[in-house]
Structure 1
Amino acid sequence: MRAIAFFWTITLIAPQVFGQSPRLVSQTQALARPDQSFAREDSEIARLNCVPMFGEVKKTARQKQEQDAFLQSCDRSFGDRAEASRFFAERGWEYIAEGELDTACYRFNLAYLLDAANSDAYWGMGVVCHQKGNTTEAIRMLKKGVSIDSTDSMLIDDLATLYIQHFTDTKDEKELDAAFTWLGKSMALDSTNANTYLKLALAEYHRTNYDKSWENLHKCRALDVQLLDFDFIQQLVAKREDPQGIFKGKEEEK
């Protein structure tokens, strides 16, 4: 599962931001009934299934009934609920890869329902929010994930990336400060994580510390050259020539 989450980790290029991330039982379908109140309730349940943590609202009796039936079914099909939670989180990442964000969110919601201590559930919900353009909610979800698992450097890198995006949207230096704080925590956990150096390069770029940006970019290159984003490199070259002379601007390459 970690391999899937790593592959779909949130990425950014300066100054633009984009998500590369990031199933359950089929999404609840409202059944046709003569009583329209049932149809309305089914429709609302279906909507909340696609909102992180089921919208964090009080559950209706019908919603409780459906969720209890789901949990009982999982109890019969899996060794325990933690295993079932991991299974649905994995399906969620697959749906993110396919661009089916509502279905992905429902899967992560089910993972959360099965095991509220599964950090992947919050991570996935955060990636869904990010893909939908809601950075504030994405940050909130990833912070919940980090509060459960503060030892996953990739999860922390994604949280830092969201703070960088929020800075590009708001120009609030506090957001960039937060990104540096989280990247420092990630570095303390794993000093060989190439992704952390890449995000540090981006953060330093936004601070106009171009020499430090190059320094971190080359550390990323030394650890994993495949992570490099050449669009970002061109933007950095335009601000400051590569001190090591490895990367050239497009005009210099001609």
Structure 2
Amino acid sequence: MKYTITCILLLITTLIFGQQITYSNWKKEAKTEIRLLPKYGNAVKTKEQKTSDQELIKAYLEKAGTNRKASDLLVKQGFDYLYKQDLKTAMYRFNQAWLLDSTNADVFWGFGAIYFSFEDFESAMQQYDEGLKLNANSSNILTDKATVYMTRFMENHGDKDFNLAINNFKKSYSIDPKNQNTLFKMSVCYFVKKDCENAWKYYNECKKLGGKPITKEYTEALTQGCKK
């Protein structure tokens, strides 16, 4: 059972992986590098920085057509770099996305993902909450916020964190029932609580949609722990 719980914790925190930079070094560099802080740390920029920003905005508007489309493109690039473990470039892209459209909630999804990957869950939650103020119906942000609660539950076994996780997963599911990340993690949540019926329910729904997030290890754990 110990192996299973450890395995599940790794599954539910899929954004935590080996980094190219430690968090302590990240915070040290961020003292002089505003691009490593959300919204550039709200710093007053130099004339040269402002000129560079305008050139970036112009280039991406020519490429994407509108501020929101350009911002969405940069968010996607940010996550591409995040999954490649290049967190610095990912943060640069998320900040550029914010520069193009500060009302884009997905930018804060990206900021939160950076902090989540460093296991700074408090800072991640702050970014998710800021994003939800812009779009309370963001399935992606709700799912990642639920993941923070689930991670806390795996560490302290507090029912409050589990209930908050489930409530956020359910809200995300009601908004987008085809979000495979949500379905997979809901299955994991219920499996941890030994609710086999719901664990299989959301596992099968995810599988029908392609089952992209499902790992071989989880399928084996679910099959052994929740035999039909």
TM range (shorter): 0.7 to 0.9
Mapping of residues 143-182 of structure 1, within 5 Å = 143-182=129-168
SS in 2 for 1:15: helix
Alpha-carbon shift at residue 66 of structure 1 (Å): 4.3
Equivalent of 2:32, from 8, 29, 45? 45
Write the letter of the residue equivalent to 1:124: G
Larger Cα-atom Rg: 1
> Does the CA-based 8 Å contact 1:13-1:229 persist in structure 2?
no
CA deviation after TM superposition for structure 1 residue 68, in Å: 2.1
User: Counterpart in 2 of 1:185?
Assistant: 171
Ranges in structure 1 where 5+ consecutive residues have no aligned partner: 1-11, 23-41, 244-254
The count of residues paired between Structure 1 and Structure 2 equals 207
Contact residue 167 and residue 176 of structure 1 kept, 8 A: yes
Identity %: 23
Cα deviation code 1:193-231 (max 9, x no counterpart): 443332211111222323321232223223334442221
Question: Which residue does 2:53 correspond to in 1?
Answer: 71
Provide the rounded CA distance (Å) in 2 between the counterparts of 1:71 and 1:177. Answer: 43
Kindly indicate which of the two structures has a greater share of residues assigned to helix: 2
Matches within 5 A, 1:178-217: 178-217=164-203
AA partner of residue 71 (structure 1): D
- Secondary structure at the counterpart of residue 32 of structure 2: helix
- Does structure 2 retain, via aligned residues, the 8 Å contact 1:157–1:186? yes
Distance 1:80 1:192 in 2: 27
SS, match of residue 9 in structure 2: coil
Match of 2:93 among 90, 107, 116: 107
Aligned pairs for 1:234-249 (under 5 A) are: 234-241=220-227, 243=228
Q: In 2, Cα distance between the equivalents of 1:128 and 1:148?
A: 19
Separation of aligned partners in 1, 2:178 and 2:69: 30
The answer to whether the 8 A contact 1:123-1:155 is kept is yes
Q: Distance in 2 between matches of 1:94 and 1:201?
A: 25
Q: How much is the aligned-residue C-alpha RMSD, in angstroms?
A: 2.9
The alignment's TM-score, normalised by the length of structure 2, stands at 0.75
CA deviation map 1:61-107 (0-9, x unaligned): xx343442233223443255444433432332232132110221122
Render the CA deviation track for 1:224-246: whole Å, top value 9, x for unaligned: 344422212322334331x1xxx
Paired amino acid for 2:210: D
Matched, 1:15 2:9: yes
**Deviations, residues 152-172 of structure 1 (Å, cap 9, x unaligned):** 323322222232122223333
- Counterpart-to-counterpart distance in 2, 1:212 and 1:83: 37
Counterpart Cα distance in 2 of 1:173 and 1:130 = 21
Matches within 5 A, 1:216-235: 216-235=202-221
Equivalent-residue separation in structure 1 for 2:76 and 2:198 (angstroms): 37
TM-score (norm 1): 0.68
In structure 1, distance between residues paired with 2:74 and 2:122: 25
Instruction: Give the stretch that moved more between structures: 145-154 or 199-208.
Output: 145-154
